Amino acid sequence: MGDPLRFRDDPAPDEPGVSLDAFLNQKDATSVLLEAGDDVRALLPELGRVRLVEIDFPRFRDGRGFSSASILREAGYTGEIRAIGDVLVDLVFFMRRCGFDSFEPDAPFHPGAVDAALSRYPDVYQSATDGREPIWALRHPQFAAE
Amino acid sequence: MYKYDEYDQAMVDARVEEFRDQTRRRIEGHLSEDQFKPLRLKNGLYLQLHAYMLRVAVPYGTLNSRQMRKLAHIARKYDRGYGHFTTRQNIQYNWIKLAEAPDILAELATVEMHAIQTSGESIRNLSADHYAGAAPDEICDPRPWAELIRQATTFHPEFSYLPRKFKIAVIAAQEDRAALRWHDCALRIVKNESGEQGFEVYAGGGMGRTPIIAFPIREFCPAGQIFSYIQAILRVWNRHARRDNIHKQRMKILVHELGEEEFRRQVEMEFEHILTLGRDFPQAEYDRIAAHFDPPPFETALSEELDRSDPDFALWVDRQVAAHKAPGYAIVNISLKPCGGITGDISAEQMELVADLAERYSFDDLRSTHVQNLVLPHVRKQDLYAVWQALDAAGLASVNLGLVTDIIACPGLDYCSLANARSIPVAQQIAERFADLDRQLDLGELKIKISGCINACGHHHAAHIGILGVDRKGTENYQLLLGGSGAEDVSQAKITGPGFDETGIVDAVERTIERYREIREPGERFLDCYRRVGMDPFKEAIYG
């Protein structure tokens, strides 16, 4: 497996993610690996020391990780969120919107496919953690962000 | 009705191009069928027994004449000259070639239509009262909210890979014409004591192999917060549903496992949090959408008189025409259940005729219903005779709304790869058995619904008399159910006992109905009679 595809400028954390239980017990750990069934909210009191959250997709159809990432960003977490496992390029657009900013798929993405997936839709209908202006805000400039 | 602006159009156009690219990759062998399947399902494209089936979204069952003509064109050019209206108010084409599917989506996009989220584990195209904007008993037109929710739930990033499908219905009337509480999320627009508009919310309904009627989760959600509330429901389900057994992943199962109170508690906590994120659409956007649904310019001082001298016309009026909120207007129900025909099927020529009538007589507005019929919502009473004559000439003037031959039926084993048994021939035989109109009228309201498998697309759980096709040791077998309802008096039908073969089930239906005729009280509907006397008198008639 090569380097993860990252949408961040900071250096990639080099500490491998430990399980949620282990992370909560090891007060100096900074990387955590969330399984699809883990309760991400257990992590919220510890966010101050987290640098990397890896979220596993055991099967690409298992969409629990989308909620986990969203909850982390809604709680103000600004560190890295990496999608790992059965991550298909067709998920990347939605994942970026939910706050994922790095990707380490089991099967590497085809070159160019990520850019195509991310640029496919000109706009979005609803706001999410990525801060994009939804179409309703574009329609009503008085609501547009400064 | 709603008109796309450049943003809506760009989204649909982008989808067409995305699907064109995905289809090309599939045909060239870069995508396996396993990889392609979830992608095509997000565009309503199923692989059925004989060909691909394309399910086109008819959001909240509203169409204009231009769209209906396009549907006719697609039927003629890409299919075998007909389409099939479904119990979700959508239209399906049964004989699609994969290579042509992107072209069909491109054609649909030119009339502001699409197949987005009509299948797969997504927030499905939502359904609504087919009398919206015309019904005397509605507190407002529910379609502006339906359109707002459509946009809010289109390509939702967090909820595009859900545990299973998620169906939403919206109504704003006391009478339930949308099988409301059989949905995952059922919304009824109400007013609270202070006169503010909001939603009464029900959650966790659904048919399939585990039929459950949605429970009242919230008495009143302020209208402007409904998107937050829907997201709260979705998030609790998305996070906590099982993912190990496809038959246990619908939201109703989670509600059942957690219990209504605990599910509600979790949703309320999530709701409180999501409200702080400011995700709800502002009033200005609701107002923009609602302006598209302003009532048409109804004429005033119209005559309420009807010339009923033609007895066939009078019969049709009494059954197929419903009261309208505007004086001098009426709602016309077009039956897609001719005797011996196929439930919900309509030919390209008939589609064009209906489009013409909608344009000429109904402010260019027509509807599809979950009962697989069509509606012209705003017809002047003085035009009813002309409309009837035109419908009659096209074989669309059957008189059977709500009667024993107004049967809901899924495509069944004639088309569907999931089916265990055929539905269409059973519906046809029952219709033929009860073809006599006097007999039908004497029986009154009687809702028969037929599913060709446990997935219950034919709504048999919600039928007064339901039929479920099963596979018994390699032969088609039909179970009989009694006492369900998809209306405001919602209930779940119960199985009578051992099943029947194809002829046997038609006989059993007739014996059930004859017993009803013997024991009913004056004016008593079949459903009310069943509720009064219970299953036993019917079992005795059926099994002897």
Alpha-carbon gap: B8 to the closest alpha carbon of chain A (Å): 9
Looking at the fold, whether B158 and B284 belong to one and the same domain comes out as yes
C-alpha distances in Å from residue B131, one per residue of B162, B369, B506 = 31, 9, 32
Answer whether residue A63 is part of any domain: yes
> What CATH number does residue A12 fall under?
3.20.20.70
Kindly report the length of chain A. 146
Contact at CB, A93 and B163, closer than 8 angstroms: no
Within this chain, do residues B68 and B182 fall inside the same structural domain, yes or no? no
CA distance B65 to B354: 8
Minimum Cα–Cα distance from B147: chain A residue = A125
Statement to judge: residues B37 and B158 lie in one domain:
no
Closest CA to B354 of B72, B36, B155, B542: B72
Structure confidence at residue B431 as a pLDDT band (50, 70, 90): very high
The answer to whether the CB of B365 falls within 8 A of the CB of B296 is yes
Number of neighbours of residue A25 by Cβ within 10 angstroms: 10
Q: How many domains does chain B have?
A: 3
Residue B251 belongs to some domain of the structure:
yes
Asked if residue A138 is part of any domain, the answer here is: no
Q: Which of B265, B291, B317 is the last residue of a domain?
A: B291
DSSP-based helix, strand, coil % in chain B, nearest 5: 40, 20, 40
Do the Cβ atoms of B284 and A67 come within 8 Å? no
- The mean pLDDT of A96-101, rounded to a whole number, is 98
Q: Is a pLDDT exceeding 80 seen at residue A2?
A: no
CATH number at residue B269: 3.30.413.10
Same domain, B73 and B26: yes
Tokens of B183: 């949905």
Q: Which residue of A has its CA nearest to B249?
A: A62
Please check whether residue B43 is in contact with residue B19, taking contact to mean a CB–CB distance below 8 angstroms.
Answer: yes
pLDDT digits (tens, 9 = 90+) for A26-82: 999 999 999 999 999 999 999 999 999 999 999 988 999 999 999 999 999 999 999
- B284 inside domain: yes
- Residues of chain B that touch chain A, judged by Cβ-Cβ distance less than 8 Å: 5, 7-8, 10-11, 14, 17-18, 21, 35, 38-39, 121, 151-163, 227, 235, 238-239, 243, 273, 277-279, 281-282, 284-285, 288
Residues in chain A within 8 Å Cβ distance of B10:
122-123
Q: Please give the Cα distance from B352 to B477 (Å, whole number).
A: 38
State the smallest CA–CA distance between residue B156 and chain A in angstroms. Answer: 7
| Of A36, A67, A138, Cβ closest to residue B235 | A67
**Count of the separate structural domains present in chain A:** 1
Give the percent of chain B with pLDDT over 70: 100
pLDDT band (50, 70, 90) for residue B183: very high
Backbone angles phi, psi at B49, to 5 degrees: -65, -40
**CA-closest candidate to residue B185, choices B171, B166, B212, B172:** B166
Residue B100 has pLDDT above 60, yes or no: yes
In this prediction, residue B153 has a pLDDT band, given cuts at 50, 70 and 90, of: very high
Query: Which residue is associated with the tokens 């909850």?
Result: A71
Check residue B173 and report its DSSP letter. Answer: B
Helix (H) or strand (E) holding A34: strand A31-34
The order of strands in the sheet holding B345-347 is B45-47, B52-56, B91-96, B82-85, B345-347
CB pairs under 8 A between A and B: 103
Report yes or no: B416 and B48 within 8 Å, Cβ to Cβ.
yes
B56 and B197 fall within a common domain: no
Which H or E element spans position B235? helix B226-240
pLDDT tens track for B69-84: 999 999 999 999 999 9
Query: By CA distance, what is A61's nearest residue in B?
Result: B161
Nearest to B10 among A37, A97, A123 (CB): A123
B345 assigned to some structural domain: no
> Which value, in Å, is the radius of gyration of the alpha carbons in chain A?
16
Sort out which chain B residues have CB atoms less than 8 A from A81's CB and list them.
none
User: Does residue B475 sit in helix, strand or coil?
Assistant: strand
Domain boundary among B84, B109, B134: B109
Domain containing A13 equals: 5-121
If one counts every other C-beta atom within 10 angstroms of the C-beta of residue B303, the result is: 10
- Which of B252, B273, B291 marks a domain boundary? B291
Contact A66 B273 (CB under 8 A): no
| pLDDT digits 0-9 by tens, B470-517 | 999 999 999 999 999 999 999 999 999 999 999 999 999 999 999 999
B432 phi/psi in degrees, rounded to 5: -70, -40
Which residues of B are less than 8 Å from A122 in CB distance? 7, 10-11, 14
Residue A136 lies in a domain: no
With beta carbons less than 8 A apart as the criterion, state whether B171 and B178 touch: yes
Distance CA B403, CA B430 (A): 12
Question: Residues B116, B19: contact at Cβ < 8 Å?
Answer: no
A146 in a structural domain: no
B347 pLDDT tier (thresholds 50, 70, 90): very high
In this prediction, residue B31 carries a pLDDT of 85
Q: Which residues pair with B380 in a beta bridge?
A: B329
* Residue A145 binned pLDDT confidence (cut-offs 50, 70, 90): low
Q: From CA B482, how far away is CA B94, in angstroms rounded?
A: 31
pLDDT of residue A50: 97
Q: Which sign, positive or negative, has the C-alpha torsion A28, A33, A34, A40?
A: positive
Structure tokens, B171: 């109504």
Q: Which domain holds residue B459?
A: 408-543
Residue A141 banded pLDDT, cuts 50, 70, 90: confident
Query: How far is the C-alpha of B184 from the C-alpha of B189, rounded, in Å?
Result: 16
Which residue of B lies nearest to A136 if distances are taken between CA atoms?
B285
Do the domain assignments include residue B319? no
- Our CA-based measurement puts residue A97 at a distance from the nearest CA of chain B, in whole angstroms, of 6
Identify the pLDDT of residue B35. Answer: 81
Picking from A9, A4, A5, A29, the residue whose alpha carbon sits closest to that of residue A19 is A29
Mean pLDDT of B276-286: 97
The answer to whether residue A135 sits within a structural domain is no
**In angstroms, how far is CA B206 from the centroid of its own chain?**
13
Q: How many Cβ atoms are within 10 Å of B311's Cβ, its own excluded?
A: 8
If asked whether residues B155 and B223 sit together in one domain, one would say yes
A145 or A22, higher pLDDT: A22
Note whether residue A145 is domain-resident.
no
Probe site for chain A from B24, B151, B158 (most A CB atoms < 10 A): B158
Same domain, B150 and B102: no
Both tokens of B347, joined, read 């030919």
Whether residue B233 sits in one domain with residue B154? yes
Treating both helix axes as pointing N-terminal to C-terminal, what angle do B226-240 and B143-152 enclose, rounded to 10 degrees?
Answer: 50
**A20 inside domain:** yes
Q: Is B167 helix (H, G, I), strand (E, B) or coil?
A: coil
Question: In this structure, is residue B461 part of a structural domain?
Answer: yes
Return the higher-pLDDT residue of B291 and B34.
Answer: B291
Residues B280 and B420 occupy one common structural domain = no
What's the whole-number average pLDDT of chain B?
96
In this structure, is residue A130 part of a structural domain? no
Helices and strands (H and E) in chain A: how many: 5, 6
Distance (Å, rounded) from C-alpha B449 to C-alpha B457? 9
pLDDT at A1 over 70: no
Does residue B151 sit in the same domain as residue B50? no
Tens of pLDDT, residues B310-326: 999 999 999 999 999 99
